[in-house]
Each structure stands twice: as structure tokens, then as C-alpha cells.
Amino acid sequence: MWTTVVVSGITLGSFYTLIAMGFALIFGVTRTFNLAHGEVLVLAGYAAYWLWKTSGVSLLFTFPAAVLVALVVCLILQRLFSRLREPLELNSIVMSFGVAILLQNGMLFFFSGDYRLIRVPTFNQGLHFNTLYLSYGQLTLLALSLLVIGLLYLLMRHTYLGKALRATIQDREAAALAGINVGAMGILAFAIGAILIGLAGPLYGCVHYLYPTAGLQATLLAITITIFAGVGRIRGLILGGWILALAESCAVVLFGASWRELVGAVMLITLLALRPQGILGREQ
């Protein structure tokens, strides 16, 4: 049983990391809190659901539409955030909260409040390894999440754009003095974040029910994992996603499914109280 819990936790944790990476990147580069992150994720999931439901296309062909929807919304958000004045963090919270409410009501108007799920029949089949069972859905979720995380890691570590993004995350003023266009880095961060959200949206629609207010849980996950990792630490994001998912899986097994959300809330409050700079971060 516990082997299944660990494998499920790692699979779900990798997906949690994929959800959180867009939020962490945007926050690290622009120092803005995008509380509409979860709503954009759900909107991308709705775009994939609509295409899958109306056209009957396979899940794979819904990703471009989901990425396009997330990209449009995130670039609009970037334009709104670029007009904010200090205190930037507080003003971004207020603005993104308003955008989140707007997106929730828009999704409620167009898709109603019904629970919707992208059903892929082959996802329920799987492989048996002695007492361990892995569904094709879990394998797909794990493989795609790790692939995207690996590609982003290579981008951040081995390209000029990645180094410029990391420099901006570490010190915006020093990066500007070194000749890096920090404004362009902000646009790039929102664009990459939108691509990550768009890739996570259809997967989210396969493993979670889509409904207009579902984004709140996704935003809480992204904030918790980002605080756990510290700003600009991809390895920390992966570790945070795994630990959060394993804690949730254990809570579900020991106490029931109703305890899952409480685990994330407790971890967030504990981190804010004891390690606001992150487990792997350094005190400034």
C-alpha cells in the first residue's frame, strides 16, 4: 500500500511542480503576485475540454489551444502589471485578485457551474508490477511533467536567456546595469509561465474536475511550493511538489480525502511562520 502511496505522491508532486513553476518564474522575475494563476490554469483546462468535447480530438491536440488561451491572458496580465506603482507586491495582489474574480465569473457564464472532466479511456488502464499498479494516466502525467520541467531546467541553466532570467531574479538593478533588458525579461517570464500553464491545463482537466472556482486550490498549491523552494530554485520546486503531494497522499490514506486541502493550508502557514525565505533559501 505504501509503495503505491509513494509512487502516486511522486507522480502528483511532479504535476504540482509543473503548476507552480509558472507562478514561481513570474514572481521571481517581476516581483508580482499573480493570484489569478489558478484561474488561468482552469481556463486552459476549459479550452482543452471544449475542443475535446465539441470536436472529438485527442488530448494531445488540445495542448496548442490551451497554450494559446493561457498566453493571451498572461500577456494581458503582464500589461496590467507593468502599469502598477509601488508597493508592487501589494498592488499586484489587489489587481490579480480582481482579475481572478473576473475570470471566475466569465467561466461561470460560458461553462456554467457544472463539474466537467476530460475522460481519456486508456488512462484507466495500466501496468502491474507485483503489488504495484500504475495507470497510463499516472505514467502520462509523470512523463509529461518531468519532460517540461527538464526542458525548463535546460533553458534556465544552459542558454543566454535563462542566465538573463536568473540574473534578473537574483538582482534586478544589477542585471539592468549589466545590460540586461529587465522589462523584456518580465514579458519573457509571463510568456514562459503561460506556456507552462497551458501545458498543465489539459492535464489538470484529466485528473481534476473543472469548475469556475477550482483555480483557488491551484493557486494555493503554487504559492505553497514557491515558498517552500525559495525564489528561482527549480530543484526546490520539485522537492516541494513531491513533499506536498506525499503529505496529501498520506493524509488521504490515514484520515480520508477531506483532509487533503488542510495539509496544504497547514504547510503554507508553517512555512510563512518559520521559513518565509524557503527551505533551501538563505536569510537576507
Question: What pLDDT does 250 receive?
Answer: 84
Question: What pLDDT does 232 receive?
Answer: 60
pLDDT tens across 246-279, in order?
888 888 878 777 777 788 788 778 877 777 666 6
- Residue 149 contacts residue 14 (beta carbons within 8 Å): yes
Exposure string over 11-31, b if 16+ CB within 10 A, otherwise e:
bbbbbbbbbbbbbbbbbbbbb
- DSSP at 128: E
Using a pLDDT cut of 90, give the percent of the chain over it: 30
Question: What pLDDT does 72 receive?
Answer: 94
Question: What pLDDT does 1 receive?
Answer: 61
Q: Using 50, 70 and 90 to split pLDDT, how confident is the model at 240?
A: confident
pLDDT tens across 71-117, in order?
999 999 999 988 888 888 888 899 999 999 999 999 999 998 899 99
Question: What pLDDT does 120 receive?
Answer: 83
Query: With 60 as the cut, is the pLDDT of residue 282 above it?
Result: no
Question: What pLDDT does 51 receive?
Answer: 92
Q: Please give the model's pTM, rounded to 2 decimal places.
A: 0.89
Name the least confident of 23-27, 36-40, 125-129, 270-274. Answer: 125-129
Domains and CATH numbers, the chain: 2-274 (1.10.3470)
Closest CA to 7 of 105, 154, 133: 133
Question: What pLDDT does 38 receive?
Answer: 92
Question: What pLDDT does 231 receive?
Answer: 63
SS (H, E, C) 1-70: CHHHHHHHHHHHHHHHHHHHHHHHHHHHHHCCCCCCHHHHHHHHHHHHHHHHHHHCCCHHHHHHHHHHHH
- DSSP at 231: T
Please, which residues have CB within 8 angstroms of residue 149's CB and are 6 or more apart in sequence?
14, 17, 18, 21, 234, 238
Q: Average pLDDT, whole number, for the chain?
A: 85
- Residue 203 contacts residue 41 (beta carbons within 8 Å): no
